[in-house]
Amino acid sequence: MKATYKKYILNFKQASGTSRGILRSKETYFIIISSNKNKGFGECGLFRGLSIDDRPDYEEKLQWLCNNIHLNKVDLLNQLKEFPSIQFGLEQALLSFKSKNPFELFPSDFTASKKAININGLIWMGSEAFMKQQIEDKLKAGFSTIKMKIGAIDFDTELSLLKSIRKDFSSKEIELRVDANGAFKPDKALEKLKRLSQFEIHSIEQPIKQGQFNEMADLCSKTPLPIALDEELIGVFNVTNKQKLLQTINPQYIILKPSLVGGFKGSEEWINLAEKQNIGWWITSALESNIGLNTIAQWTHSLGNLMPQGLGTGSLFINNFESPLEVKKGHLHYNNIKNWKVNL
């Protein structure tokens, strides 16, 4: 058994805006494990500017992993604890290598094309006209949950967009989620949450920047709408610190991006702790290619969480790999009649 890694640049179909800036491309890395007969693929979804493992020795660590792939999996994961995206790539590659089909890691009714995963439709930041067009497109496409990124354009304009949705659709018809990516100032956040709450928002992700534990805890105790932690979970490696964070902040939800929090193992630690505190959770991809998205989707289905998940990012890139993943009527489907086309 040997392992290699390969860098791959995903190019967006159109520039996508967040409060951290405009995204035009996204680099990712693949671990490929091979022997005479088998091949396994794992995606290390590094996210520049967001991942805790966005550091100069990233490729050096990937090479170290390839050189030491013969070591015990538990030992490897421990050695990679400061590189959560590589941990996840390793978990995927080992599962893929051992599977009869390298892209069917969690056989289920989802991979048998019998069940689909309810997902939210993602609205990227941009001009009012651009955001309005995206909203109309998602509604026409049959999404019942819409997630809108906010915090980059004028707040009153963002409120007017939400108001226009609520004018035509009640909260029973369309669930609205918003994601501030930490854009609000702590002293202004509560007032903004009060103004958002009039539109029956399901939840807001990361209203203020991560690392402000006391401010976030205060906000979660007073908020008129549920708060979901996202970036706040990045870089918290051991279970004791995870538990302390959840007990201190006591959010209504947490959102798990396996590439950013240590793959299956890291995510499941967060889930177990959250459930003990009656904190809700859902899973979101972090702009992986279809290889990583496929793994996250199959694993997510195995968890049995029926909330809409954040897994609709596969169609964003012009050079993604052809796969059985399809989005229809606000659901992610695995069309097992379609074949994978992966050239790595």
Active site residues: 149, 257
Query: Distance (Å, rounded) from C-alpha 242 to C-alpha 269?
Result: 8
Tokens of 248: 């201190």
Task: Note whether 260 and 47 are within 8 A (CB).
Answer: yes
Task: Note whether 310 and 118 are within 8 A (CB).
Answer: no
Query: Distance (Å, rounded) from C-alpha 292 to C-alpha 16?
Result: 20
Nearest CA among 39, 43, 44 for reference residue 3: 39
CA distances from 78 to 2, 88, 244 (A): 20, 12, 21
Tell me the three state secondary structure of residue 19: coil
Query: Distance (Å, rounded) from C-alpha 95 to C-alpha 102?
Result: 8
Other CB atoms within 10 A of residue 231 CB:
18
Query: Distance (Å, rounded) from C-alpha 115 to C-alpha 136?
Result: 26
Nearest CA among 17, 15, 87 for reference residue 51: 87
- For residue 139, the number of C-alpha atoms closer than 13 Å in the C-beta half-sphere is 17
| Helix or strand (DSSP H, E) at 22 | strand 21-34
Query: Distance (Å, rounded) from C-alpha 78 to C-alpha 262?
Result: 11
Other CB atoms within 10 A of residue 43 CB:
26
